Amino acid sequence: MFEVIKQEGKARRGVFTCPHGTAQTPVFMNVGTQGVIKGAVSAHDLKEIGCQIELSNTYHLHLRPGDETVRELGGLHRFMDWDGPILTDSGGFQVFSLSGLRKIKEEGVTFASHIDGRRIFMGPEESMRIQANLGSDVAMAFDECIENPAPLPYVQQSCERTVRWLERCVTEHRRLMEQPDCVNPGQMLFGINQGGTYPEVRIWHMQEIAKLDCDGYAIGGLAVGEPTQVMYDIIDVVEPYMPKDKPRYLMGVGTPSNIIEGVARGVDFFDCVMPARNARHGKLYTWSGTINIKNEKYKLDQRPIDPGCTCPACASFSRAYLRHLFVAGEMLAMRLAVLHNLHFYNELMVRIRAALDEGTFEEFRRKYAPILDRPARGNET
């Protein structure tokens, strides 16, 4: 299911196999929250921009159109016409970040839907059932994502509960996978490490959840308010306790530099809404740094967004045209920008993997980690 084929320092080059195919790692998962990428980008477009794994959202699909509806329509793969790997998050993050009113108990969480305020209960069993109905290839455990900073006693108490929740996830997931009408009987389950910014809680929690022999392990609860260096330090602290033979997933991270630094620390899977969100605001990634396409200086610029890019936007359209679309408020502006930024992220992973294959990742890291997140300088802009 997962094989590390090469290593440089802690950075790993691997191959991940699941019921809907194989992904080369390190991999960036493209986020289609509601079964679509925001900015009018479909699953067919994802094929064209080099996406290997699509990520959808349990919370959103449970509320709308409803996971039972998706199941009746043959599961999420058929519903959105994507035949590649899909990972679904557990809904935990959204329950804790989107719903103002919520009540946490041992059984689970009662919260108000952000759409109509209706009261909904979700616990480990409910999350597993929803993800089984969606039929994703990887289900994520139901956890509490704690904001940083949080008081130590609360983090300890929450992490103890998250271990108990994971035990319940494992039991329910096993039961669901044995049902004769299961949408995707080969669905895997990843556990999630929490512990805020407390190294000792992070380590204890990782050791506890590693005992449950999940198919992979994620580091959650980072990039939620703490400084970047603290995030890197926590990855360094947890990594030695993560099983070596299983995929590791850093949830919700991050910028191109964050991803390079995550790979350097032994992470295999990433996801983030940032490239698509930035694109919709006109902030685009290039190999010389970021540019704001809405800027006046691109008014007569006939070059593509990035001269080296092979995405559908760069193949045909100029910066001047894209800027015009943004200024005019045309929907195509967002679509082209999102296609470019996601293609850039997927291409970033292609280059990271090539560097790992050639044993030149450290050189790649030194060259690109300092420049990709900051505004581009010089002639390129």
Q: Give yes or no for a cis peptide into 266 (omega within 30° of 0).
A: no
Contact call for residue 322 and Zn ion (CB under 5 A): no
Chain-centroid distance, C-alpha 242: 19
Strand arrangement of the beta sheet that strand 2-8 belongs to: 2-8, 11-18, 21-25
Alpha carbon distance 309, 211 (integer Å): 44
Q: DSSP letter for 41, please.
A: B
Give me the catalytic one of 89, 143, 215, 306. 89
Q: DSSP letter for 252, please.
A: T
> Which of 340, 345, 355, 376: binder of Zn ion (CB under 5 A)?
340
CB 286, min distance to Zn ion, A: 8
CB 136, min distance to Zn ion, A: 29
Q: Which is nearer to Zn ion, 117 or 307 (CB)?
A: 307
CB 302, min distance to Zn ion, A: 15
Per CB under 5 A, the segment of 159-167, 214-222, 234-242, 301-309 that binds Zn ion is 301-309
CB atoms near residue 308 (< 10 Å): 10
Adjacent-strand bridge partners of 54: 30, 86
Whether 271 sits among the annotated catalytic residues: the reply is yes
Number of residues located near Zn ion, criterion CB under 5 A: 6
Site residues (CB under 5 A) for Zn ion, limited to 76-95: none
Per CB under 5 A, the segment of 108-116, 120-128, 220-228, 336-344 that binds Zn ion is 336-344
Q: Which is nearer to Zn ion, 122 or 342 (CB)?
A: 342
3-state secondary structure of 311: coil
Contact 254, 226 (CB under 8 A): no
Per CB under 5 A, the segment of 36-44, 156-164, 196-204, 312-320 that binds Zn ion is 312-320
Chain-centroid distance, C-alpha 298: 32
Element (H, E) at 170: helix 152-177
CB 309, min distance to Zn ion, A: 3
Give me the catalytic one of 67, 137, 143, 271. 271
Take residue 103 and report the two structure tokens written for it.
């009540």
CB 37, min distance to Zn ion, A: 15
CB 345, min distance to Zn ion, A: 11
Contact call for residue 333 and Zn ion (CB under 5 A): no
Whether 89 sits among the annotated catalytic residues: the reply is yes
Contact call for residue 311 and Zn ion (CB under 5 A): yes
User: DSSP labels for 316-336?
Assistant: H--HHHHHHHHHTT-HHHHHH
Contact call for residue 314 and Zn ion (CB under 5 A): yes
Q: What's the Cα-to-Cα distance from 130 to each of 37, 73, 175, rounded to whole Å?
A: 20, 14, 14
CB 87, min distance to Zn ion, A: 25
Contact call for residue 242 and Zn ion (CB under 5 A): no
Bridge pairing between strands 11-18 and 109-112: unpaired
Contact 39, 278 (CB under 8 A): no
Per CB under 5 A, the segment of 182-190, 245-253, 300-308, 321-329 that binds Zn ion is 300-308
Q: Which is nearer to Zn ion, 335 or 340 (CB)?
A: 340
Alpha carbon distance 217, 188 (integer Å): 11
> Which of 140, 235, 279, 309: binder of Zn ion (CB under 5 A)?
309
Per CB under 5 A, the segment of 113-121, 191-199, 264-272, 332-340 that binds Zn ion is 332-340
Q: Which is nearer to Zn ion, 131 or 341 (CB)?
A: 341
CB atoms near residue 353 (< 10 Å): 19
Q: Which is nearer to Zn ion, 19 or 50 (CB)?
A: 50
CB atoms near residue 87 (< 10 Å): 25
Helix, strand, coil in percent for the chain, rounding step 5: 45, 20, 40
Contact call for residue 348 and Zn ion (CB under 5 A): no
Contact call for residue 31 and Zn ion (CB under 5 A): no
Positions touching Zn ion (CB under 5 A) are 305, 309, 311, 313-314, 340
Active site residues: 89, 271
